[in-house]
Chain A
Amino acid sequence: MLPALPFYLASAFLIGASLGVVGSRNPVYAALFLVLAFVSAAVLWLLAGAEFLAMALVVVYVGAVMVLFLFVVMMIDVRLAVLHRSFVRYLPLGVLVAVAMMVQIIAALRGLAQGAGHAFPEGGNTEALGTLIYTRFLYPFEIAGLILLLAIVAAIALTLRRREGTRHQDPGRQVLVRKQDRLRLWRLPPHQASGEQLPASAQREDT
């Protein structure tokens, strides 16, 4: 069913990139390898007919989440040597998680093989998904919207803080300024000696 050559190519890239994520000493490189892993996984999903998931993976994970990952990598300021030591320390836990995931995947695949079959939907995966989301799963969809709203409020509440004493321009107020607010015209009578005080006869001329 799957075209063989693109499948093996994308799988090889996925495995190689995953090894790069775990193995690279520079965390920024690890994050970039993760981008490659995501793109390879998107290709695999595309080959399996899951067009919408592939698109979402590229748009959401590669486009947005990885930007955040890179910022986090910059933020936590990891020391490379410490990272290398913790690799060995967390290896047993990682193996445990990998085995658990493997068991789950095998169980899921067995369920598929026993007849919970799937076919390529008419008109493509995206259309089938949309038809389901916006009719049968309408309520969860609206809840998803509310969760997103909650996330917006939470993100702002957690990270937004005003910095005191910063100077910045306000273009709106700059545009609204009038001549009367800024400019004063003085009519000065001609006089000769320099360095004198402003003569009392100088009058303010109203603008």
Chain B
Amino acid sequence: MLAAYLAIPFFLVVAAGIGLFALAAGFVLGPRRPDPRKAAPYECGFEAFEDAHMPFDVRYYLVAILFILFDLEITFLFPWAVSLNHIGTAGLLAMVAFLLVLTIGFIYEWRKGALEWE
């Protein structure tokens, strides 16, 4: 079973290699003339007003939470699709009912305008 996942370590090694190569190439080939003025914080001609940790608008959470919920929905679809041969018509109808319930939620959020950004 694990042999099927052998591609993942290779993928990780290649990805890390490309990332390290980009960093190393920049480090080796790039000119470096350090200057305190280059390192100074700079924001459109002014000193930086505040640090980067700004509170987010609450509507980002709404998008994230709704994403998690439908993410969970598709997680249920994987074992269902794999075992479709064993679970018969009852299993098929069960998933239809499950999807219907969540479609109600989807219609609700759509009609409510939760997907609109304004």
Contact = CB atoms under 8 A, between A and B. Distances in A.
Contacts of B79: 52, 126-127, 129-130, 133-134
Interface in A87-138: 120, 124, 126-131, 133-135, 138
A203 to B, nearest CB: 43
Interface in A50-69: 51-52, 55-56, 59-60, 63-65, 67-68
Given A47-B2, A60-B72, A149-B105, A155 B87 contact: no
Contacts of A198: none
A45 to B, nearest CB: 12
Contact of A156 (B56, B75, B84, B109): B109
B-side interface size class? 35 or more
B79 to A, nearest CB: 3
B108 A156 contact: yes
A4 interface: no
B115 to A, nearest CB: 10
B44 to A, nearest CB: 22
Contacts of A145: 97-98, 101-102
A201 B76 CA distance: 74
Nearest to B60: A71
A160 interface: yes
Contacts of B87: 130-131, 134-135
B94 A151 contact: no
A73 to B, nearest CB: 8
B113 interface: yes
A179 interface: no
Given A56-B75, A160-B112, A131 B86 contact: yes
Interface of B: 1-2, 5, 9, 53-56, 58-62, 64-69, 71-76, 78-84, 86-88, 90-91, 94-95, 97-98, 101-102, 104-106, 108-109, 112-114, 117-118
12 contacts: A49-B1, A60-B75, A68-B65, A77-B53, A130-B86, A134-B95, A148-B69, A151-B69, A152-B66, A152-B109, A160-B113, A162-B113
